[in-house]
Amino acid sequence: MLTYAACAVALFFAMNIGASGAAAAISIPYGSGALPNRKIALLICGIGIFAGAVIGGGEVVKTIGSSLIPHTFLTVKVVLIILSSAALSLFVANILSIPLSTSEITVGSVVGVGIAYHALFINNILVIVAFWFIIPIIGFTLGFVFGKLIQKIQKKYPKLETGKSKGILSLFLIIVGFFEAFSAGMNNVANAAGPIVGAGILTVKSGIIIGGLVIALGAILLGKGVLQTNAKKITSFSLLEGGAISGTGATLVILASIYGLPVPLTQVTSTAIMGIGTAQRGLEIFKTTVISKIVKVWLVSPVLSLVISYGFVKLFVDSDIYTVVVLFGVCAATLGIISLIKTIREDSRSYYEGGGGI
């Protein structure tokens, strides 16, 4: 019974991965007009995701399934807890409109179980966390360099994105978008399939095929809203800039996947966008709130799922209700302090604006 439940949650999680994140991989070609038909865009996205999962998703699946905690701890009940924690984290994030990384919440869920059992491969986890910062920094640097090069090209060839050359650039952008979807499949299939494979419920081959297929279906059938939202955000990019952003994200995530590193595609793409934005407008881009949002996502994603999975282990495996009460109390106190700080700041602002200050 628990095995069927774990598989059901894994499939549900995979569908949501496809709906909430994978469809964004093709948003730049769609939003720029290179691929105007939404259904075709989602279909290309789904094909890319499935191909990436089947061809190159195995290494990241092995990392999630056996390189974070000893696979002997991955019983069916623990796998159900990991997947439920990740799915619940994603659900809560969607309600609160917080853009969490599915790779980070999955790693956080597995680590939470490892902490509960005092069994973690610390060195492997530190390497993964380090690359969560290193790869976005590389993405920003490459985006900045490409941004400068594109500026020079556009000055030299001001009509490059018109006429016949526009069609060639549009085709290039569609191809790059396909490879970004391919990279999403390589990296994200492990989030749903990794725990199942680690518990021995499925083989690596079966896990990546089923997982890739369900994530692809999630993108095709449920990715309409995400695609539309992301497309509206990228309309200010030229075809060359869009190609540079998608190409940077796809290349870095594919390389990470080859080495079995689960990395957040959305954040890699965001930092590439920031790099191009810096090349365009200079350091003014850092005055926006985008950087603080990205940092908060990096911190919130794994920690939220870690706390939930740790609490589930204590509640459903160890029957330790006291620890769960403490966790709930800490979370409530943290939210209360944040709310209090916000209230104090608002009161101080209204006090001084009202002339009551010194």
The alpha carbons of the chain give a radius of gyration, in whole angstroms, of 22
pLDDT in tens, 1-56: 889 999 999 999 999 888 876 667 888 888 878 888 889 999 999 999 999 999 99
* Residue 7, both tokens: 């598989």
CB atoms within 10 A of CB 309: 30
* Residue 126, both tokens: 């530190």
- The structure's pTM equals 0.88
pLDDT in tens, 153-201: 989 888 888 888 888 999 999 999 999 999 999 999 999 999 999 999 9
* Residue 119, both tokens: 């069994």
DSSP 203: -
pLDDT exceeds 80 at position 298: no
* Residue 316, both tokens: 């459903």
Cβ neighbourhood burial of 210 (10 Å; 0-12, 13-18, 19+): buried
Euclidean distance between CA atoms 81 and 69, whole angstroms: 14
* Residue 259, both tokens: 């080495």
Give the chain's mean pLDDT: 87
Confidence class of residue 90 from pLDDT cuts 50, 70 and 90?
A: confident
